[in-house]
Structure 1
Amino acid sequence: MRSTKQLHYKLIQECKKQNTKAQLQLYNNYAQGMLSVANRYVKDIHLAEDVMQDAFIKAFKNIESYKEEVSFGAWLKRIVINQSIDELKKNKLAMISINEEVLNVVEDGNWEVDNGVTSEMVVDAIHKQKEKYRLVLSLYLMEGYDHSEISQILGITEVTSRTHLMRGKKLVKEYLKITNHAEGY
């Protein structure tokens, strides 16, 4: 019996040969997870489905560039995230750089919240924020990108990324305080 890693390697090699059955199998293995990733960014399941489809097309078209430096899932996830952000930019959602109003950013490493706050509540609070804050918060906290990577993905400066993160975090904390206070925590 072959290991999952060996099967994935064989599938990817077949995809590089444009084998449609292998592409379908790889698609079936990753579609649900990638749909969730896309939906976190575009916040519309139908648009997320389109984004995911486009990302898979782009991935299969460029599969020769996959060099196994990272897992295939991580490589594909980055394509889905970039495709999601491209879609948001195309639709002209609040992706405005605020460099002019930023003079000095002090990064606050304190991410503590009240004990009654669950991770689901934090994710919900992030999703309630303006697009520019939600994207940076999601990329930083959920996807693990640093400010340099975020600046490249979103086409903003690192200072803007830090500012959006700082402001977004403040808004999330305020939202959680109001929500918890209203629920009697």
Structure 2
Amino acid sequence: MLSDEQAFQQVMETYSDYLLRIAYLYVKDWQVAEDIVQDSFLSYYVKFEQFEERASLKTYLVRIVINKCKDYLKSWSYRKQQLTNTFFQTKTDPQKMLQQAERLDIAEAILNLPIPLREVIIHYYYEELSVLEVANLLRISDNTVKTRMRRARQLLKEKLSSDEWEVLANE
């Protein structure tokens, strides 16, 4: 039988990469995503007795990470950083832009979607969850998931060139 510390270590090893990817998709910064995942594991460790197993542990941890990401995106430090980046943003080299692969353009377009639309696209296409699984994870109705996916696809279609859109539509 595993001790609590061993069980916690096993949970961290099992889910840390997955949770890091989820956090990055929300906050678009690897260092902040790492901090959020660490903070999420700390929250889980402190309150692991409260986990009632109504959902899987993975779903529970993802919910903690998503909530912490949303809290971060509402925080003053994030807004201050965004404002600073806007003022000191350097111009991109046209040659670099031409060398970017279509998938990077698609990823950028997805990351620029509003969070409610971005999260359904990410969970559906990249995490390969069903509409019902996405609805349960985000605590919204399946019709809301479908509506958000339709809106996200429309925005992506407007943002992407026809070649890029065909790559995304065929996935």
1:61 corresponding residue in structure 2: 46
**8 Å CA contact retained: 1:38, 1:48:** yes
Which of 154, 166, 169 pairs up with 2:153? Answer: 169
**Superimposed CA distance per residue, residues 130-181 of structure 1 (whole angstroms, 9 cap, x where no aligned partner):** 4564345446765643399456xxxxxx98x887655433111222345538
1:40 paired with 2:29, answer no
Q: Offset at 1:69? A: 2.7
Change in 2 beyond 3 A, CA 1:69/1:135: closer
**Helix, strand or coil: the match of 2:160?**
helix
Which of 123, 126, 134 pairs up with 1:145? Answer: 134
**8 Å CA contact retained: 1:51, 1:84:** yes
**8 Å CA contact retained: 2:106, 2:164:** no
1:24 corresponding residue in structure 2: 9
Following the alignment from structure 1 to structure 2, what is the Cα–Cα distance between the partners of residues 71 and 147? 11
**8 Å CA contact retained: 2:59, 2:137:** no
In structure 2, give the amino acid aligned to 1:38: A
Which of 99, 104, 112 pairs up with 1:128? Answer: 112
**Helix, strand or coil: the match of 1:68?**
coil
**8 Å CA contact retained: 1:147, 1:162:** no
Q: Which 5+ residue runs of structure 2 have no aligned equivalent?
A: 80-101
Which of 16, 33, 36 pairs up with 1:51? Answer: 36
**8 Å CA contact retained: 1:136, 1:150:** no
Q: Which 5+ residue runs of structure 1 have no aligned equivalent?
A: 1-9, 94-117, 152-157
RMSD: 3.8
Following the alignment from structure 1 to structure 2, what is the Cα–Cα distance between the partners of residues 75 and 147? 11
Q: Which has the higher helix share?
A: 2
Aligned length: 137
**Helix, strand or coil: the match of 1:146?**
helix
Change in 2 beyond 3 A, CA 1:30/1:176: same
Following the alignment from structure 1 to structure 2, what is the Cα–Cα distance between the partners of residues 177 and 74? 35
Comparing 120-129 with 72-81, which one deviates more in the overlay? 120-129
1:76 paired with 2:65, answer no
TM-score, length of structure 2 as denominator length: 0.59
